[in-house]
Amino acid sequence: MDDTTEHLNNSILNDLMQLNSESEPRFVEGLIDRFETLIAEKIAEMRVALDTGDRDRLFKVAHSLKGSGANLGAVALADICRDLQTDSQAANFESLGGMVDGLEYLAPRTLEALRQYVRTA
Amino acid sequence: MKERSILIVDDDEISRELLIRYLRNHGLNVIAASNGREGLELFERNPVPVVITDLYMPDLDGRGLVQGLAATNPPPVILMQTVEQDAATAVEMMREGVHDYIIKPIRERELIFRVDRALEYYESQRTLEALEQERRMRLDRQLNWNVWKEAVASRDSDRYDSSLFQNLRVCFTQGAGFGGLVALAELMEGVAQKQDGFYMIPEEIMTEILSNAATARRTLEEFRELDTILNAEIALEPTSFEQFFKMQQELLREMQALATIKQQTIKQGTPTPPATGGHLLMHGTYLQRALRELLVNACKFSDEKSEILLLYKTAGSKFLITVLNKPGATVNLAVPGFEHALFEPFLRFGSTVDERYGTLDYGLGLTQAEKIVRSHRGRLTASHVRFHLENDEAFRLNMEVELPIVKGDET
């Protein structure tokens, strides 16, 4: 997963870049900045859900982050969220901590890959 | 109600922001809420034709929002966002009132296509509702024209028309036909030059003769077809709704060229077959001719850049095809309440012939359409409609074809 090109869907990003306009040339960069804040909030919320054994909360947080990630072309991150969402309903709740760790590891790399794409587009 | 407005309900601010941007770039008005409850309150204050919602949200989720919106009047068209893996849930939600779904990640082209389709669906649903309300009001009023209609219905109109057309054809071929021939012969005699056993006539006269002959041929052909419709049994074939809608698509494609004459738009409602199944009995060519006539008239007698609607609806054992247009101010249509007079032979809407539509304009088109529909065991009615719900004082002309839905092996 260290190859950042695998983290992203270039076709989606290419569409997104069309949203930068003369009046708002940094629209996509603004979205990525907000995504960074959002990831931090959602991972923290996932940790709380894990600690309290709140399956429903974990399901909804993972669903929400999955949508944001998919829409920004962050497919690898969205895939982990999808697995978390599905497995949140499974019996072995404790093992999900490893998946959240994986998300935390992937997040900064995904953000860097997104910014790199925007810089070179 | 703002007609091209969309409400987005999504707790994910990135998705919400993207949707807002894509839709605004497409010229749509957008309002947004971050959960179902806020969305429902916003809709009640600012009703819109289309709502795009996510499924899982805090406070009130997508399911609750769909239920809440379904209870409003008129309800909006709802599009649900989903990811591919949740497609089964989206299908389940469609049973609860969701019209369509949008797959995440959101792709601009796909989004705009589905939203445009949802707006068109909303518009056609509202039109059908307005027609239904108008129909009820009309029945309540007990218009005097029922008396007149009874009088018309009591005469044997087919026999009357048959004799009328026969006499007219004789006039064309023997009276006016000879008259035209004499006039042309005299003209040729005046200008023709004899040379080496041949007559030479100017090219313009020859062109005129050929053009008149072509029109005469079309006229005779039209009368021959009227003869068949009136006097011969038209063979009706069982036709599935799928086949019928396919034929309608072809007709619409052909009609688009005529609509461009006055930059009009022909919009088709959702081709929905009856939920209870069944098929139609029809003669494809004749029925399409009747429907074409209704659409051509709608184009011809409506204003520039106006909208013509072609809608479908099932009402019990009947299938209804509606052509609705707003006639131009200069068009002299039958008096409201006496719309049936539109089917009288030789009634013409305009005093001049509009050659751009390639029609003969003898005033027989609607008569022919009505006979064709009757030969399909159906009914063609005309009515004036005012959209009271929309405070629009201008009336629309509503031409409605009612065809029986046939079940199983019935013929």
Nearest to A66 among B11, B25, B83 (CB): B83
Suggest the residue from B11, B14, B26, B108 to mutate for an interface test with chain A (most A CBs closer than 10 A). Answer: B14
- Three-state SS annotation for chain A: CCCHHHHECHHHHHHHHCCCCCCCCCHHHHHHHHHHHHHHHHHHHHHHHHHHCCHHHHHHHHHHHHHHHHHCCEHHHHHHHHHHHHHCCCCCHHHHHHHHHHHHHHHHHHHHHHHHHHHHC
CB distance B14–A34 less than 8 Å? Answer: yes
Q: How far is residue B374's CA from residue B356's CA, in Å, rounded to a whole number? A: 29
The residue with greater pLDDT, B358 or B187, is B187
For residue B14, pLDDT over 60 is answered with yes
CB distance A15–B108 less than 8 Å? Answer: yes
Chain A nearest CA to B101, separation (Å): 14
* Inter-CA distances, A90 with A85, A93, A95, B30, B32, Å: 10, 7, 10, 39, 34
Of all residues in chain B, the one with the smallest CA distance to A56 is: B56
Bridge pairing between strands B193-195 and B100-104: unpaired
Return per-residue pLDDT of chain A as tens, 121 residues. Answer: 444 557 899 999 999 999 998 888 899 999 999 999 999 999 999 999 999 989 989 998 998 899 999 999 999 999 999 999 888 887 677 778 889 999 999 999 999 999 999 998 7
Long-range residue pairs from A82-87, CB within 8 A, at least 24 positions apart, any chain: A82/B83, A82/B85, A84/A46, A84/A58, A85/A59, A86/B85
Show residues of chain B in contact with A67, CB under 8 Å: 10, 12, 14-15, 54, 81, 83, 104
Task: Output the pLDDT for position B175.
Answer: 47
Mean pLDDT of B46-54: 95
For residue B247, pLDDT over 90 is answered with yes
Task: Output the pLDDT for position B318.
Answer: 92
Show residues of chain A in contact with B13, CB under 8 Å: 34, 38, 68
CB distance B108–A27 less than 8 Å? Answer: no
Chain A nearest CA to B74, separation (Å): 30
Nearest to A72 among B10, B14, B58 (CB): B14
Q: How far is residue A84's CA from residue A81's CA, in Å, rounded to a whole number? A: 5
Record the pTM. 0.58
Q: How confident is the model at residue B355 (pLDDT cuts 50, 70, 90)?
A: low
Task: Output the pLDDT for position B356.
Answer: 64
Q: How far is residue B226's CA from residue B166's CA, in Å, rounded to a whole number? A: 10
Alpha helix (H) ranges present in B105-240?
108-141, 145-154, 157-170, 177-191, 203-231
Nearest to B12 among A27, A64, A86 (CB): A64
Residues ≥6 apart with Cβ < 8 Å to A89: A55, A59
Q: How far is residue B56's CA from residue A113's CA, in Å, rounded to a whole number? A: 28
Q: ipTM surpassing 0.95, yes or no? A: no
Show residues of chain B in contact with A66, CB under 8 Å: 83
Could you tell me if B118 and B100 are in contact, meaning their C-beta atoms sit under 8 angstroms apart? yes
**Residue ranges of chain B whose CB lies within 8 Å of a chain A CB:** 10-15, 17-18, 21-22, 25, 54, 56, 58, 81, 83, 85, 104-108
CB distance B18–A31 less than 8 Å? Answer: yes
Amino acid at B397: L
Strand order in the sheet with B50-53: B29-33, B5-9, B50-53, B77-83, B100-104
Task: Output the pLDDT for position A1.
Answer: 40
Suggest the residue from A63, A83, A89 to mutate for an interface test with chain B (most B CBs closer than 10 A). Answer: A63
Nearest to A71 among B25, B85, B106 (CB): B106
- For B300-337, write each residue's pLDDT tens digit: 888 888 888 899 999 889 999 999 887 766 555 545 55
Could you tell me if B61 and B55 are in contact, meaning their C-beta atoms sit under 8 angstroms apart? yes
Chain B nearest CA to A31, separation (Å): 7
Q: How confident is the model at residue B143 (pLDDT cuts 50, 70, 90)?
A: very low
Amino acid at A99: M
The residue with greater pLDDT, B62 or B221, is B62
Could you tell me if A74 and A40 are in contact, meaning their C-beta atoms sit under 8 angstroms apart? no
Show residues of chain A in contact with B17, CB under 8 Å: 31, 34
Q: How far is residue B100's CA from residue B117's CA, in Å, rounded to a whole number? A: 10
Mean pLDDT of B114-131: 88
Show residues of chain A in contact with B21, CB under 8 Å: 19, 27
CB distance B18–A16 less than 8 Å? Answer: yes
Task: Output the pLDDT for position B126.
Answer: 84
Rounded percentage of chain B residues whose pLDDT exceeds 90: 31
Q: How far is residue B84's CA from residue B277's CA, in Å, rounded to a whole number? A: 31
Mean pLDDT of B242-271: 90
- For B194-214, write each residue's pLDDT tens digit: 888 888 887 777 777 777 777
Give me chain B's average pLDDT, please: 79
In DSSP terms, B309 is beta-bridged to: B267, B324
Task: Output the pLDDT for position B344.
Answer: 55
CB distance B14–A18 less than 8 Å? Answer: no
Task: Output the pLDDT for position B139.
Answer: 60
Task: Output the pLDDT for position B357.
Answer: 62
Chain B nearest CA to A30, separation (Å): 10
Amino acid at B288: Q
Between CA B386 and CA B391, with CA B389 as vertex, the angle to 5 degrees is 70
